[in-house]
Amino acid sequence: MPGELVPIVLGSVFLISVAYVIKVVSDNRTRRTLIQQQASSDVIEKLFLEHRPADYESALRQGLLAFGLGLAFAVIAAGQLGPSDAMSYGLLLMFSAGGSLLYYWMKKPKE
């Protein structure tokens, strides 16, 4: 089973890495063009800083999801379940959904 997953994991990591490199190069090229044209700092801040998502919220969401999955793997190991058991997949889905719901509950605006 792990041998079958290696091409999938390596392929997805490669594609994500290529997409990230393209984004960084594109952003740097745009910044260089704006600096060469002597654009005002307000324009640069508006383009690159105003629409940035809050990093701590994304980290919180991913952390809660990873915690839920880790907890699911701990329960699977304690219950001596294997990859052929449907309960293993059910636990993974339930705990990951629980992490996502916990994030939603934490970030839900208070009335």
- So what's the pLDDT on residue 53? 59
The CA-to-CA distance between both ends of the chain, in Å, stands at 49
Hey, is 54 helix, strand or coil?
coil
Both 75 and 98 in a single domain? yes
The answer to whether 76 and 91 are in contact (CB under 8 A) is yes
- Its pTM stands at 0.50
Both 31 and 62 in a single domain? no
Both 60 and 111 in a single domain? yes
**Among candidates 57, 62, 53, 70, which has minimal Cα distance to 100?**
62
What is the token pair recorded at 81?
């379940």
Both 83 and 44 in a single domain? no
- So what's the pLDDT on residue 54? 60
pLDDT per residue of the chain (111 residues) written in tens, 0 to 9: 567 777 888 888 899 999 999 988 988 888 788 778 887 777 777 777 666 656 677 778 888 888 988 899 999 899 898 888 888 889 889 998 998 888 888 887 766
The alpha carbon torsion through 99, 104, 106, 107 (nearest 10 deg) reads 140
Q: Which domain holds residue 4?
A: 1-52
